[in-house]
């Protein structure tokens, strides 16, 4: 009878161990579910923040492009022109370029011509405003060792020797 008692005790111990293992598995499953839920919530909030930041940056780039083009088109107050333009037809492409700026400004110029003056061309003067011509790149001036100071000569000499 002692063998049967040992078997019953072993079976009871195994049942108890099985119940403990089941409760551990259930706890781990619940923890995994909580972690997955938390991860999905964080991912969703990060995606929303990223979308919001993209929209804000796209809007700022579009407004900057409109302002620059309004200045080129001779707007008296470019900020007012930008505020009055409908931004729905203007988009920023995947490559970063802004599409629809010139069309929107042409429409604004037709509808509200009082906001614009004459288009200022480079090298052209109008009243007190002078449009400066675009600067041209200069050439490299030759180095005259006889006309420079001793310090400049030594500096250039060491720069020349360091290249070889």
pLDDT digits over 28-87, tens only?
999 999 999 999 999 999 999 999 999 999 999 999 999 988 888 888 888 988 998 888
SS3 state of residue 130: strand
- Local confidence band at 18 (pLDDT 50, 70, 90 cut-offs): very high
What confidence tens digit (pLDDT) does each residue in 95-150 have?
888 989 989 988 888 888 888 887 656 555 555 566 666 667 777 778 888 888 99
CA distance linking residue 148 with residue 48, whole number of Å: 63
Model-wide pTM > 0.75: no
Domain range summary for the chain, segments of one domain joined by +: 7-131
Q: Alpha helices of the chain — where are they, by DSSP H?
A: 2-72, 78-84, 101-111, 150-163
Instruction: Report residue 1's pLDDT band, with 50, 70 and 90 as the boundaries.
Output: very low
């Amino acid at each position: 009878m002692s063998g049967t008692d040992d078997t019953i005790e072993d079976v009871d111990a195994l049942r108890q161990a099985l119940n403990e293992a089941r409760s551990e598995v259930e706890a781990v499953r619940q923890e995994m579910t909580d972690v997955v839920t938390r991860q999905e919530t964080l991912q969703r909030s990060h995606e929303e923040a990223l979308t919001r930041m993209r929209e804000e940056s796209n809007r700022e780039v579009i407004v900057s492009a409109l302002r620059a083009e309004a200045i080129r088109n001779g707007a008296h107050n470019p900020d007012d022109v930008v505020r009055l333009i409908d931004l729905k037809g203007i988009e920023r492409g995947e490559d970063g370029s802004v599409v629809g700026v010139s069309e929107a400004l042409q429409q604004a110029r037709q509808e509200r011509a009082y906001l614009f003056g004459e288009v200022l061309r480079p090298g052209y003067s109008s009243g007190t405003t002078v449009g400066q011509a675009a600067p041209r790149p200069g050439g490299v001036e030759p180095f005259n060792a006889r006309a420079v100071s001793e310090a400049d000569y030594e500096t250039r000499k060491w720069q020349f020797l360091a290249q070889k």
